[in-house]
Amino acid sequence: MSKKSLNTIGAAALAILLLALCAQVRVSAQDKSNDDARSEQNTSASSNARQRTIEGVWRTQITPRDCQTGVPLLPFTPQGLITYHKGGTMSETSDGAPSGPASRGPGHGVWNRRNRRHYDGSFVFQLFNPDGSFAGTQKVTQNLRLNASGDRWEDNATFQIFDANDNVIVTGCATAVGTRFE
The pTM is what? 0.70
Helix (H, G, I), strand (E, B) or coil at 139: strand
The share of the chain scoring above pLDDT 70, in percent, equals 69
CATH number for 87: 2.40.128.120
* Number of structural domains in the chain: 2
Task: Characterise 88 by phi-psi region: left (phi > 0), alpha (psi -120 to 50), beta (else).
Answer: left
- Whether the per-residue pLDDT at 173 is higher than 50: the answer is yes
Same domain, 70 and 91: yes
Same domain, 26 and 107: no
Same domain, 32 and 76: no
Tell me the per-residue pLDDT of 68-111, one tens digit each, with 9 for 90 and over.
Answer: 999 999 998 999 999 999 999 999 999 876 665 569 999 999 99
pLDDT for residue 172: 96
> Is the Cβ–Cβ distance between 142 and 27 less than 8 Å?
no
**Cα 135 to Cα 113: distance, rounded to the nearest angstrom:** 32
Same domain, 1 and 79: no
Question: Does the bond joining 106 to the residue before it have cis omega, within 30 degrees of 0?
Answer: no
Same domain, 76 and 124: yes
> Is the Cβ–Cβ distance between 153 and 147 less than 8 Å?
yes
Same domain, 7 and 71: no
Confidence of residue 28 (pLDDT cuts 50, 70, 90): very low
H/E element, 83: strand 79-85
Same domain, 86 and 19: no
Same domain, 93 and 121: yes
Range of the domain at 116: 56-180
Same domain, 9 and 85: no
Same domain, 163 and 91: yes
Same domain, 128 and 91: yes
Same domain, 107 and 132: yes
- Give residue 151's identity as a one-letter amino acid code: D
